[in-house]
Amino acid sequence: MLKKLDLQSHWPFFVFLSLVLLKFLFVRGLLFENANIFKTIFVEIGYLLLFFGLVELLSSKKLKIILYIALNLIFTVLLLAVLIYHDYFGYIVTVHVFSQIGQVGTVKDSVLQLIKPVYFLIFVDFILLPIYFFMKKKSGAKTAERINLKLVLPIMILGVSLVGYQLFTQRDAKIANTVLAAEKQGILTYEILAVKDKAEAASTPLLTSEEKASLPEKIREIKGIEPIPAENLKLRGIAEGKNLIVIQAEAFQDFTINLKVDGKEITPFLNDLLQGSLYFPNVFQQIGPGNTSDAEFMFNTSLYPSAWTATSETFSDREIPSLPKLLKKEDYQTMTFHANDVTFWSRDKMYPALGFDKYYDIEFFGNEDVIGIGPSDEYVYEKALPELKKLHDSGQKFYAQIVTLSSHHPFKIPDDKKTLQLPAEFDGSIVGDYLKAISYTDAAIEKLVQSLKDEGLWEDTILVLYGDHFGLQPSGLKENDFDLLEGLVNHEYSFLDQFNIPFIVAVGGEKLGEVNEVVGSQLDIMPTVANMLGLSLDDYVHFGQDIVNYPDNLFGMRYYMPVGSFFNNKIVFKPAEGFADGEAFELQSRETLADFSQYEKDYERISELLNLSDEYMNSLPKR
């Protein structure tokens, strides 16, 4: 029987099948705590049998080898992407994200730092295969030229059966944790189901105009918000008519505020600014796949970002209600400054969709005084200030968003710009580099504020500062980094430290001097600032809230945490497959909560809010 099948002449099939399967075993072993050899084979091999079986149907020996090598390369690159993406985001990448591959060139230094040497083991076969082919050729081993249906048909039937079983049994599975989903379903099934879920989400019925009109009230009802009369709102209109300058600081985490190392402050200027400002130390990021661009989107809209792709790439063709559009009704000029190529994350389309009158990108700033991926923060502020002064001197109110770059991963500040000396134990560590980058960010902001004062703009300005997202990802840290961080934050560094970003508001001419401990999110920043500007959001669809006046909060995160994760005033919750097998942590003590059953209603409410946000975004009219 074996002789009739002529297995030896089909050696390329068995060689490449074995190689790729070994790669799946290797990668699953790195990704999953409970990786099981037999389970890996069961959930992954069906696709390999199907793809390689199709190749084996060909009669051309040369074409077969080319396609086997191509499939091997495709699977290898996919697995490498899964490893790197998981290291940085804690998320199993989906094929949707490959549409963003063009962004990699801009952040190549950060990507390269994430590649661990062990990952290159999945490319070893590309070195060994030429030797193997040479030996085969020398030994006279033949490759089948005719289609051997007695071999190929059983392989194809088995492959189709295994794939069909996986897709059928997992088609309706809703596993919140992407790592758990990929482990249970198989990496390739997970990818296919992600495409299916996105297609289903895109095909949901659009909201009617009546449903959209009722959304503000519905959101308030779900969140349990009882509106307060405008005349009773704290800080209402305290900055009305003032110019708005918003600094979105790259990778700025809150633990650096008021932090001292060896007696030296990391952010001495901001620490001093806080004495007369409003400071929220318990605000958390909510960005999605678009990272920094998602943070921009959330500040300007108070809408949840897209779950699958960068919001700027998915919805930049829509008419999006926004803060710039609200301010334009109040006769403001609106602009955004970002010293990168404006096509990065499709900002050239998103900025007009958000209603900005003008944007300034690398074409305006040039390539002078570069730190990392773009011109330094100091240079950006120096170039932006004359544009703002011209408007101010002409009596034109303005809103200026400034997105900084200098503290971007991998946090390499040139020696001549370093403003901080650290003890020897920080030398060569990413934590040390990060603190120096944040210290430089602080010094650059100090120069900007001083310039605003010198040019007579400060008294007429409300300055907002917040972090776009984390800088120090646990999976990218070494043991020494964790030890250093534990000494800085006085507890084990966790995702709560990672996702915690600062939110500071300074109003020229006002001495606020308040630390507000309320738990908040990036969605809450715009409504809080809108109240201070005297803007009404009563009929504006937004999922955040003014956390000065509405401290009882509930908000979700669904990218860097499993879908359905939420924060409220007391806990943060992370589902596994669902609610019952999830984890809850007390925000104040950071301790695990054994019984969290009382919060199941919050889990249901956050799912409803996320669905409403998606439905609303999908229902926005095309531009």
Residue 141, pLDDT score = 59
158 vs 8: which has the higher pLDDT: 158
**What pairing do the DSSP bridges indicate for beta strands 358-360 and 333-338?**
parallel
Helix/strand/coil (H/E/C) assignment for every residue in 17-30: HHHHHHHHHHHHHH
Whether the pLDDT of residue 3 is over 70: the answer is: no
pLDDT at 105: 43
Looking at 202, 225, 245, the residue that finishes a domain is 202
What pLDDT is attached to residue 215?
A: 97
Together in a domain, 175 and 287: no
* This model's pTM is above 0.95: no
Higher pLDDT, 428 or 137: 428
Report the percentage of the chain scoring pLDDT > 70: 93
User: Do 183 and 225 sit in the same domain of this protein?
Assistant: no
Per the CB < 8 A criterion, the answer to whether 49 and 188 are in contact is: no
Round the average pLDDT of the chain to a whole number and report it: 91
pLDDT for the residue numbered 490:
95
Q: Beta strand pairing status for 374-375 and 370-371?
A: antiparallel
In a domain, 575, yes or no: no
Same domain, 185 and 237: no
Q: Give the pLDDT confidence score for residue 111 in this predicted structure.
A: 57
Q: Does the pLDDT at position 98 exceed 80? A: no
The answer to whether residues 101 and 142 belong to one domain is yes
15-24, 189-198, 419-428, 486-495 — which is least confidently predicted?
189-198
Higher pLDDT, 337 or 196: 337
Higher local confidence (pLDDT), 172 or 336: 336
Q: Are 468 and 251 a contacting pair, CB within 8 Å?
A: yes
Total number of domains in the chain? 2
162 and 260 part of one domain? no
pLDDT number for residue 104: 45
In a domain, 210, yes or no: no
pLDDT for residue 480 is more than 70 = yes
**Element housing 210 (H / E):** helix 209-223
- Using CA atoms of 456, 458, 462, 466 in order, give the dihedral in degrees to the nearest 10: 130
Q: Which domain holds residue 544?
A: 217-552
Residues 587 and 568 sit within 8 Å (Cβ to Cβ): no
| Residue 582: strand, helix, or coil | coil
Domain identity same for 241 and 163: no
Name the residue with higher pLDDT: 182 or 401.
Answer: 401
In angstroms, rounded to a whole number, what is the distance separating the alpha carbons of residues 176 and 168?
19
Judged against a pLDDT cut of 90, whether residue 231 lies above it is answered with yes
pLDDT reported for residue 136: 62
* C-alpha distances in Å from residue 521, one per residue of 185, 400, 501, 587: 32, 21, 9, 14
Q: Are residues 475 and 499 in the same domain?
A: yes
Which tens digit of pLDDT belongs to each residue from 145-185? 566 677 788 888 999 999 999 999 988 888 888 888 889 99
**pLDDT of the residue at 116:** 78
> Are both 145 and 276 inside the same structural domain?
no
In a domain, 208, yes or no: no
pLDDT for 106 equals: 47
